Amino acid sequence: MSARYPVMLDVSRWEVLVVGGGEVALRKVRGLIDAGARPDIIAPEVHPELRALIGEHGLEWRQRPFRPGDTRGHDLVFAATDSAEVNDQVGREAASKGSLFTLADDPEQSRFHVPATIRQEDVVIAVSTGGASPLLARRLRERLESVVTPGLGRAARRLAGAREEVRARWPQDEARRKAAWHELITPDFLDAAIAGRDYEVELRIARCLSQS
């Protein structure tokens, strides 16, 4: 039985550090930016695409090797160098300072793992096999991509706005508000959202709000 507990972190509020500048670090930084983080980066050199991300998002890049004390002040630490020795050093220091950390080459010693992820607007699906088979997790993610579409992401964003409209429509009737959501978010609504039929999604929301 896996001892792992899935959570969603609001990394936009966290101090994040990525040690390393290769393709693994590039993937980590991309995912962190997509989630709203502004990670600091430590590496003597970086992948050209990572250099572009650093410039585009104004990230801090310390162009040098990792030094003792570099993890200080960081809540989340990614050790993503091509040196097991350096990654271990990063992990040991992060652990001593109470930071969450992951080592690219040593999942057993990591305090957390990054699952295979699909992100469409506010809809985020994470798939993990507990480290048993990263390839299986990736294949499951690929299968789910046919369902977690851009249209579904847009529908979720629209529903976030509709929450205030529903509250305003039935301000004193919690039971009616709950009923409205159940009447709105049906299999047909999901089908329209997944297919990207935005007009139908909007029409269904309007019909829901027009009911007495």
> What CA dihedral angle connects 136, 191, 124 and 129, to 10 degrees?
-20
Q: How far apart are CA 14 and CA 124, in angstroms?
A: 19
- Give the residue from 129, 199, 206 showing the smallest Cα distance to 165: 206
Which residue(s) pair with 120 in the sheet? 123
- Give the residue from 89, 117, 201 showing the smallest Cα distance to 152: 201
pLDDT of res. 121: 86
Contact between 97 and 71 (Cβ < 8 Å): yes
Q: Residue 96: phi, psi to the nearest 5?
A: -65, -20
State how beta strands 61-62 and 40-42 pair.
Answer: parallel
Q: How far apart are CA 20 and CA 31, in angstroms?
A: 15
pLDDT of res. 1: 46
Angle between helices 198-210 and 174-184 (to 10 degrees): 150
pLDDT of res. 11: 93
pLDDT of res. 113: 83
Q: In 3-state terms, what secondary structure has residue 118?
A: strand
For the chain, 212 residues long, give each residue's pLDDT as a single digit of tens.
466 788 889 999 999 999 999 999 999 999 999 999 999 999 999 999 999 999 999 999 999 999 999 999 999 999 999 999 999 999 999 999 999 999 988 877 888 888 888 888 888 888 887 767 778 888 888 889 889 999 999 999 999 989 999 998 898 889 999 999 999 999 999 999 999 999 999 999 998 888 76
Contact between 60 and 82 (Cβ < 8 Å): no
Q: Residue 76: phi, psi to the nearest 5?
A: -130, 125
pLDDT of res. 3: 60
- Global pTM reads 0.79
Rama region for 158: left / alpha / beta (φ>0; ψ in -120 to 50; rest): alpha
CB-facing half-sphere around the CA of 128: CA atoms within 13 A = 14
